Amino acid sequence: MQNARDTFYVTLRDRLAAVNPARTIVLRGVTRPGVLVEENELASATVPVNAFCLRWTGLSVDALAALPLATMTCEISYATDGDSGNGGMDRGRLLSGMDAELVSAVSAAPQNVTKMNYVGAAGGSGLAPVAMGTNVFWGDAAFGAAVVNGERLERVATVVVFCYQEAGEL
């Protein structure tokens, strides 16, 4: 499942970066696209704003077929305080913009991608990820209600991601 999670994250990150290259985040001193996977970062009580934060929640596995089919739930939370130059009064527009970016990235065809193994490529090794034999695929984003948290607007969208467990894959 981890390969599928990594693949989905990289795909979503690249698509979101293409939709809005200006959406970046500075994380541990590095400027990168405004997408992160919560479990891959240092534990923090801070909720990043103007960025998409992925959290893997549900998991089920159907082992009846020739390959086990894993169904995973990815929660994507994002928030904005608005632009300080506008006194935060544009927070609704900014949240709407993030909604649209997520729709573009998740619902753009094709909604599948070759599953990649990033183990060798991790840690700046310079090695290319290895293409695997099956695809990761996913449904459309289901958007939760916008939540007002003080001056902040927050939303959680959910995407169900599917993958097949290939022989020998953990």
Partner 1 sequence: MSATVTAVSLVGAVAPVTRRVRAYFAPVNREAGAPTLFDASQMGTFALSSPPSPWMDLGWCSKFARKSASKIGALTTGAPAVVQSQVVTQVEATVELEFESWGKLQLALAAGSQQMNLLRTATGAAANGSGGVAAKAVPLVPGSTASSLSVGATAVAQFQVGELVAVDEDYVAQTGFVGSGVSAAYVSSPASVANDINYIRRVTLNVGRVVGIANGALQLGSALLAGAPPSGMQVSPLMGFVDREGGGFFQEWSGLFVMDGEQGDRVIYHYPRLQAMQGAAEMVETLAGPLEKVKLAGAFRALPVKDANDGETVLCFRSYLPGAMRAV
List residues near partner 1 by CB under 8 A: 2-3, 6, 65-67, 69, 110-112, 117-120, 122, 130-135, 137, 139, 162, 164, 166-170
Contact 128, 121 (CB under 8 A): yes
For residue 146, give the 3-state DSSP assignment: coil
Which CB atom, from 9 or from 52, has the smaller least distance to partner 1?
9
Cis, peptide link before residue 110, omega less than 30° from 0: yes
Shortest distance, position 128 Cβ to partner 1, whole Å: 12
Which CB atom, from 45 or from 167, has the smaller least distance to partner 1?
167
Which CB atom, from 24 or from 112, has the smaller least distance to partner 1?
112
Shortest distance, position 4 Cβ to partner 1, whole Å: 9
Q: How far is CA 71 from CA 61, 84, 124, in A?
A: 6, 40, 30
98 vs 27: CA distance, rounded Å: 19
Shortest distance, position 44 Cβ to partner 1, whole Å: 21
Tokens of 79: 């928030």
Strand ranges (DSSP E) for 28-151?
A: 30-33, 35-37, 52-62, 69-80, 112-117, 130-138, 142-143, 147-149
Which CB atom, from 43 or from 167, has the smaller least distance to partner 1?
167
Which CB atom, from 73 or from 111, has the smaller least distance to partner 1?
111
Shortest distance, position 63 Cβ to partner 1, whole Å: 12
Shortest distance, position 132 Cβ to partner 1, whole Å: 6
